Amino acid sequence: MTTANTGILASGTTFTTQQLAVLLCAVTYSTDPQSDIATYLPGWSIVWDGTQTSDGNYAFIALDPTSTIYALAIRGSLPPFDVFKDWAAFDNWILEDMDVVTRVSWPYVTNSGSNALIASGTNRAFGQVQNMVDSLGSQKTILEYLQANGAVAGNQVIITGHSLGGNVANVYASYFISQLAAASSTFTNTALVTFAAPAAGNSDFATDLDAKLPNAWHYENDNDIVPKFPVSLSVLLIGFMYIGGPSASGITCTYKGKTVSLRDAFMLLAGIFAVYDYQQQALNYNTFNTPTDSAYTQNTIGDFFNQAGYQHEVVHYATNLNVNLPQTLVEQSRLV
Determine what percent of the chain is predicted with pLDDT higher than 70: 94
Determine what percent of the chain is predicted with pLDDT higher than 90: 80
Least confident of 180-184, 267-271, 274-278, 328-332: 328-332
The answer to whether residues 225 and 197 touch, using CB atoms and an 8 Å cutoff, is no
Task: Please give the model's pTM, rounded to 2 decimal places.
Answer: 0.95
Q: pLDDT digits over 102-130, tens only? A: 999 999 999 888 999 999 999 999 999 99
Q: pLDDT digits over 260-314, tens only? A: 999 999 999 999 999 999 999 999 999 999 999 999 999 999 999 999 999 999 9
pLDDT at 13 over 80: no
Confidence of residue 332 (pLDDT cuts 50, 70, 90): confident
Q: What is the pLDDT of residue 312?
A: 93
Q: pLDDT digits over 78-101, tens only? A: 655 667 878 888 888 888 778 999
Q: What is the pLDDT of residue 69?
A: 97
Superfamily name and number for 6-91+99-227+280-293+312-331? Alpha/Beta hydrolase fold, catalytic domain (3.40.50.1820)
Q: pLDDT digits over 204-238, tens only? A: 999 999 999 999 999 999 999 999 999 999 999 99
pLDDT at 40 over 80: yes
- Provide the 10 A C-beta neighbour count for residue 169: 33
